[in-house]
């Protein structure tokens, strides 16, 4: 956990350094006209419903901690009611796989959690780090059904001592988008799950990173 905390600190320092560098570059190029892909100053935006405001995307994470592997993949569809705001819905597929040694000459026991459910999310652009890239605030709520599997056989939730087979997650964080507006962009997120539980949450820690993409029409 200490190593993860050090890694997280390095990520935050790197993001801060990147932001400062981007602002410095903006000051050096004040004589150049920026290329605006989607007018970022039009905060109000058009109120009309149009397919030009649709955004599709997805994100996920992957990690290994000791004998545990965890992953997440979450596609979504979003709408832009105003230029700096995305709201959307999506699905979630995530899980953990734990492997336990049973002795020399015998196969390992493999214990799997699988989470399938839905999510609602929002992203609000805080500031630019070079147009059309920017830093955004992100919130997300997930509701997932959990299934358990040991060596290929499904296990009833009560047999494991858990009271529920469903889990909610409430995530808050910051993200970087290479293109917050129209066209293709990649994203990097750092999120915190305020409903994290050591026994039933899909992620090994309450803090998780994500990488993903978006495409704005």
**Does the domain spanning 50-216 belong to CATH 2.40.160.20?**
yes
Evaluate if residue 200 carries a pLDDT over 50.
yes
Range 11-36 average pLDDT: 44
Residue 91 φ/ψ region, left for φ over 0, alpha for ψ in the -120 to 50 degree band, beta for the rest: beta
Q: In angstroms, rounded to a whole number, what is the distance separating the alpha carbons of residues 156 and 172?
A: 32
* Percent share of the chain, pLDDT over 90: 42
* Percent share of the chain, pLDDT over 70: 71
Q: End-to-end distance of the chain based on CA atoms, in angstroms?
A: 41
Model confidence pTM above 0.85: no
pLDDT given for residue 101 in this prediction:
62
Range 61-66 average pLDDT: 83
């Amino acid at each position: 956990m200490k190593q993860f905390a050090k890694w997280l600190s390095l990520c935050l320092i790197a993001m801060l350094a990147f932001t400062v560098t981007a602002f410095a570059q903006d000051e050096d190029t004040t004589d150049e006209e920026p290329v605006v892909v989607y007018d970022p100053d039009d905060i109000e935006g058009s109120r009309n419903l149009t397919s030009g405001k649709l955004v599709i995307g997805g994100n996920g994470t992957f990690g290994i901690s000791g004998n545990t592997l965890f992953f997440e993949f979450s596609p979504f569809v979003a709408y832009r009611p105003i230029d700096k705001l995305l709201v959307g819905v999506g699905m979630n597929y995530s899980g953990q796989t734990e492997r336990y040694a049973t002795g020399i000459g015998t196969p390992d026991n493999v214990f799997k959690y699988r989470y399938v459910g839905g999510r609602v999310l929002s992203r609000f652009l805080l500031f630019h780090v070079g147009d059309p890239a920017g830093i955004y605030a992100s919130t997300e709520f997930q509701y997932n059904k959990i299934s358990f599997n040991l060596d290929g056989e499904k296990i009833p939730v009560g047999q494991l001592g858990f009271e529920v087979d469903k889990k909610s997650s409430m995530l808050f964080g910051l993200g970087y988008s290479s293109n917050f507006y129209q066209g293709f962009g990649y994203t990097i997120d750092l999120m915190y799950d305020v409903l994290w539980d050591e026994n039933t949450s899909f992620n090994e820690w309450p803090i998780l990173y994500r990488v993903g993409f978006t495409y704005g029409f």
